C-alpha cells in the first residue's frame, strides 16, 4: 500500500479492547479535538462483569457511529485525517478485532498511514497529555481492571517494567469484591463511594507486600480475605458493608502507593505518575500525593476523563509513532496478552 505524503498532525484514534467503544481526534499528540466513548456498563452489569461475546457484538453496533460522532465533534471531515491509530492489545480478542479491522479499512479507504498501539502505552500517554506533563524519566503506576504494573518511563517510546501483578489486577479485585458483596458492577466506583462512609481502619485486611524491595503485586489474597470475613461474620457483615469497603480499599491503596514511591526511590527519580481506570480512585490519588510530598517528589495524574479506556490516549501514542515513521502493515494482527510496549 502506497500512502499519500502528508505531514502528521491530526490523528483519529480508535479503542475497543474491552467494553467501551471509543474514537477521538487528537492534534499533534496533545490537543484533544474530540473524544467519544460508548459505554457498555448497562449491558454487562446484570452479569457482574464483562461478557466477551456481548462486548464484541456491541462494538460492531457502535464503532461506525462513534467514529462519525468523533469527526463531527472535532469539526473536521474525513479527508482532514492524517493518520489512524488503533488499539492492538492487550484485551479481549473479539473486541479488539472490531476496532482493529475497522481502523485498517478506514485508513486504507482514506489512503493514510495507520499504526497499532499497545493499550498500556496509551494509558501512559494519558499522563503525558496533561498541561504540565512529567519530565523524563519518571515512575508510573498503571492500574486498571486488567493490569497492575509499575514502569520506568524514559521517553515516549522507552518504558521498562519494574514490577507487575502476579495474579489479579487491582481493578479486578475491586470488581470481584463488589460482586461478592452484592454491590454491582463496575466495582471500583461503587466501592469507592461506599467507602466514604466507612472506617478504613475498622477491619485489618492483609497487605500482600511479597518482597518490599521489589515491586510486584498480588491481590488474590485480599479478595479471599474479604470473602473469608463475610463467611465468619455471616450474620453481621451486611451491616458492615461501608467498613468492609473502606478497609478493603485502604489495604489495596496502601500497597499500590507505597510500592510506586519505593520504585521511584530505587531509580533516584523525583517524579511519579498514576494512570489507568483505578487512577480515578480518589483515595489512591490522595495517598500517592501525600506519600510523594513526604518524599519530595512531584505527582502527575491524568484528568479523570482520561483514566478509563478512551481513544484520545491511543491517538496521542499513535501520533508519535506515525511521526517517527512507524507504519503497520495490513496483515498485522491483534494480541490478547502482554507484549513489549
Instruction: Tell whether residue 178 is among the known ligand binding residues.
Output: no
Instruction: Tell whether residue 97 is among the known ligand binding residues.
Output: no
DSSP letter string over 288-316? HHHHHHHTT-EEE---GGGTSS-SHHHHH
Instruction: Tell whether residue 175 is among the known ligand binding residues.
Output: yes
Q: How many Å apart are CA 99 and CA 16, to the nearest integer? A: 5
Per-residue buried b or exposed e for 7-31, using 16+ beta carbons within 10 Å of the residue's own CB: ebbbbbbbbbbbbbbbbbbbbebee
Q: How many Å apart are CA 185 and CA 168, to the nearest integer? A: 17
Instruction: Tell whether residue 301 is among the known ligand binding residues.
Output: no
Which contiguous run of DSSP H or E holds residue 62? Answer: helix 52-74
Instruction: Tell whether residue 281 is among the known ligand binding residues.
Output: yes
Instruction: Tell whether residue 144 is among the known ligand binding residues.
Output: yes
Instruction: Tell whether residue 146 is among the known ligand binding residues.
Output: yes
CB 291 within 8 Å of CB 261: yes
Instruction: Tell whether residue 238 is among the known ligand binding residues.
Output: no
Q: How many Å apart are CA 258 and CA 229, to the nearest integer? A: 25
Q: How many Å apart are CA 25 and CA 63, to the nearest integer? A: 14
Q: How many Å apart are CA 302 and CA 124, to the nearest integer? A: 9
Instruction: Tell whether residue 143 is among the known ligand binding residues.
Output: yes
Instruction: Tell whether residue 145 is among the known ligand binding residues.
Output: yes
Strand order of the β-sheet with 20-27 is: 31-39, 20-27, 10-15, 83-89, 114-118
CB atoms within 10 A of CB 266: 14
Instruction: Tell whether residue 330 is among the known ligand binding residues.
Output: no
CB atoms within 10 A of CB 75: 10
Query: What is the sign, positive or negative, of the torsion defined by CA atoms of 49, 52, 53, 55?
Result: positive
CB 249 within 8 Å of CB 200: yes
Residue of 103, 135, 134 lying closest to 11 (CA atoms): 103
Which residue ranges make up the annotated binding site?
A: 119, 123, 142-146, 175, 188, 281, 309
Extract the annotated binding site for Fe cation: 119, 123, 309
Q: Which residues contribute to the annotated binding site for substrate?
A: 142-146, 175, 188, 281
Amino acid at each position: 500500500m502506497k500512502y499519500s505524503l502528508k505531514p502528521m498532525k491530526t490523528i483519529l484514534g480508535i479503542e475497543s479492547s474491552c467494553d467501551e467503544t471509543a474514537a477521538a481526534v487528537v492534534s499533534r499528540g496533545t490537543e484533544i479535538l474530540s473524544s467519544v466513548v460508548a459505554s457498555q456498563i448497562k449491558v454487562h452489569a446484570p452479569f457482574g462483569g464483562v461478557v466477551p461475546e456481548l462486548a464484541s457484538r456491541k462494538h460492531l453496533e457502535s464503532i461506525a457511529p462513534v467514529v462519525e460522532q468523533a469527526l463531527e465533534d472535532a469539526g473536521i471531515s474525513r479527508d482532514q485525517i492524517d493518520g489512524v491509530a488503533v488499539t492492538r492489545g492487550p484485551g479481549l480478542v473479539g473486541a479488539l478485532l472490531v476496532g482493529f479491522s475497522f481502523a485498517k479499512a478506514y485508513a486504507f479507504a482514506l489512503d493514510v498511514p495507520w499504526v497499532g498501539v499497545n493499550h498500556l502505552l496509551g494509558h501512559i500517554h494519558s499522563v503525558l497529555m496533561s498541561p504540565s506533563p512529567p519530565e523524563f524519566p519518571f515512575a508510573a503506576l498503571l492500574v486498571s481492571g486488567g493490569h497492575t504494573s509499575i514502569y520506568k518511563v524514559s521517553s515516549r517510546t522507552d518504558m521498562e517494567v519494574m514490577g507487575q501483578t502476579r495474579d489479579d489486577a487491582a481493578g479486578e479485585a475491586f470488581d470481584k469484591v463488589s460482586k461478592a458483596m452484592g454491590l454491582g458492577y463496575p466495582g471500583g466506583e461503587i466501592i469507592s463511594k461506599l467507602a466514604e462512609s466507612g472506617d478504613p481502619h475498622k477491619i485489618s485486611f492483609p497487605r500482600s507486600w511479597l518482597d518490599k524491595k521489589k515491586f510486584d503485586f498480588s491481590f488474590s489474597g485480599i479478595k479471599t480475605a474479604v470473602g473469608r470475613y463475610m463467611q465468619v461474620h455471616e450474620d453481621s457483615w451486611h451491616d458492615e458493608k461501608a467498613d468492609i469497603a473502606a478497609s478493603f480499599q485502604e489495604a489495596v491503596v496502601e500497597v499500590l502507593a507505597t510500592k510506586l514511591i519505593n520504585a521511584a526511590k530505587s531509580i533516584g527519580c523525583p517524579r511519579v505518575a498514576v494512570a489507568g481506570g483505578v487512577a480515578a480512585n480518589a483515595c489512591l490519588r490522595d495517598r500517592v500525593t501525600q506519600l510523594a510530598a513526604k518524599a519530595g517528589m512531584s505527582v502527575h495524574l491524568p484528568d479523570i476523563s482520561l483514566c478509563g479506556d478512551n481513544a484520545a490516549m491511543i491517538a496521542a501514542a499513535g501520533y508519535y509513532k506515525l511521526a517517527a515513521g512507524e507504519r503497520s502493515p495490513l496483515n498485522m494482527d491483534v494480541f490478547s496478552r502482554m507484549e513489549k510496549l
